[in-house]
Amino acid sequence: MELNGRRELSIERIGLVPRHDLRILEGTLQSLIEAAAQDTHREDYVLARLTDSGALLDAMTKLRTAYPNALSIERPQFAGKLAGLEGGRDHRRVGMQELFSGFTRR
């Protein structure tokens, strides 16, 4: 954007091309890491939806050994369970009263 001496504005549009695609991968942490060896697009930005049911130690560090541009990990099977909500329910769409109630019921 440029403003000249006569207060006329000129705009030049420049197309932006992302360096990498954004992908969502789903599976166990171990299966995603193993599949990365054959993945020709390992440099893509990755959101991983992990299906592991147990505890995972340092999952993001392990994922980034296979996918260096990993951005986030989701564990949908645990969504809401910590606040006493049924699985899969979005905690951001629940009122404060219900969230507080979920914590105090235990």
Q: Which residue has the higher pLDDT, 15 or 1?
A: 15
86 in any annotated domain: yes
CA atoms within 13 A on the CB side of 20: 16
What confidence tier does 5 reach under pLDDT thresholds 50, 70, 90? confident
Instruction: Give the structural domain span for 37.
Output: 20-74
Which residue's entry shows tokens 């905690």?
91
Same domain, 61 and 82: no
Same domain, 60 and 94: no
* pLDDT given for residue 97 in this prediction: 72
Domain count, the chain: 2
Same domain, 39 and 56: yes
- Structure token digits, residue 81: 């369970």
10 in any annotated domain: no
Same domain, 56 and 33: yes
* pLDDT given for residue 69 in this prediction: 96
99 has a pLDDT exceeding 80: no
* pLDDT given for residue 36 in this prediction: 97
Q: How far apart are CA 96 and CA 106, in angstroms?
A: 17
Same domain, 69 and 90: no
pLDDT digits (tens, 9 = 90+) for 58-85: 999 999 999 999 999 999 887 655 545 5
